Amino acid sequence: TQLLEQSPQFLSIQEGENLTVYCNSSSVFSSLQWYRQEPGEGPVLLVTVVTGGEVKKLKRLTFQFGDARKDSSLHITAAQPGDTGLYLCAGASQGTSYGKLTFGQGTILTVHP
Amino acid sequence: DSGVTQTPKHLITATGQRVTLRCSPRSGDLSVYWYQQSLDQGLQFLIQYYNGEERAKGNILERFSAQQFPDLHSELNLSSLELGDSALYFCASSVGISGETQYFGPGTRLLVL
């Protein structure tokens, strides 16, 4: 069974601070996706990383896929209250003919003004 | 708006009953995925259909079943409902079978009383 461990589970910071969320597994994934979810709504895809060592930037968000494709991180620079939400990482299984995603438990981020 | 639609948005029913959740994927997407999200289990993969055929099964109970129709919309049937089935049910879709980029619908919130 593939597992994705996300940390920290909760993060409460002040506006303007930087933060990093980690997503780790002992399994290799063909790709890893990051989602943001607001209460009562569906997860919204932020980014997909596919290549080991890949770094993608989305405004103040920087996503990195580990060289071995077992881990990923999300770094937010100068966090804003609008960044508040549940952040989920999800891995796509390698070498399969289906698209099951394994999700981490999520990180609840609260950014205080 | 992800382009994935789900109905109904809310559903309240009693134990022992049967309900049907409906999902329409994004235009052009052939894969449909169903996920269950609860506070204690997080986001769990249930089942995947690709172009009308079942491709992968996750931790889906025998009381639950799904199908994808020729027009590619999908339905998730939940029967003999129990209190523990109360959760958010999400549908996601992707273009291909590998599911590396999945787009989620707004979800159906099911409450079993």
Q: Give me the residue from B4, B90, B99 closest to A99, CB to CB.
A: B99
pLDDT band at residue B112 using 50, 70 and 90 as cut-offs = very high
B10 vs A92 pLDDT, higher one: B10
Pairing verdict, β A10-14 and A107-112: parallel
Identify the bridge partners of residue B53 per DSSP, sorted by sequence position: B50
Residue B17, pLDDT above cutoff 90: yes
Cα distance between residue B108 and residue A21, in whole Å:
28
Between chains, do B45 and A92 touch, taking CB under 8 Å as contact? no
For residues B21-48, give the mean pLDDT: 93
Tokens 């569906």 sit at which residue? A42
Tokens 């003919």 sit at which residue? A97
Cα distance between residue B8 and residue A85, in whole Å:
24
Number of other residues whose CB lies within 10 A of the CB of residue A16: 11
pLDDT band at residue B39 using 50, 70 and 90 as cut-offs = confident
Which residues, 6 or more positions from A40, have their beta carbon under 8 angstroms from its beta carbon? B88, B107, B109
- Choose, out of A88, A100, A102, the residue to mutate when testing the contact with B (most B CBs < 10 Å): A100
CA B35 from chain center: how many Å? Answer: 5
pLDDT band at residue B1 using 50, 70 and 90 as cut-offs = confident
pLDDT band at residue B11 using 50, 70 and 90 as cut-offs = very high
pLDDT band at residue B42 using 50, 70 and 90 as cut-offs = confident
Establish whether the linkage from the previous residue to B8 is cis, with ω within 30° of 0. Answer: yes
Between chains, do A98 and B45 touch, taking CB under 8 Å as contact? no
- Shortest CA distance from B10: residue in chain A: A40
Rounded to a whole number, what is the distance in Å from the CA of B59 to chain A's nearest CA?
11
Q: What pLDDT is stored for residue A39 in this prediction?
A: 86
In chain A, which ranges are continuous DSSP H helix? Answer: none
Residue A1, pLDDT above cutoff 80: no
Which tens digits make up the pLDDT trace of A66-107?
A: 999 999 999 999 999 999 999 999 998 766 657 788 899 999
Residue B50, pLDDT above cutoff 60: yes
Q: What residues in B contact A97, CB-CB < 8 Å? A: 55, 97-98
Tokens 């919309």 sit at which residue? B73
Which tens digits make up the pLDDT trace of A17-73?
A: 999 999 999 888 888 999 999 988 899 999 999 899 999 999 999 999 999 999 999
- Choose, out of B101, B108, B110, the residue to mutate when testing the contact with A (most A CBs < 10 Å): B101
Q: Does A66 touch chain B (CB under 8 A)?
A: no
Between chains, do B104 and A106 touch, taking CB under 8 Å as contact? no
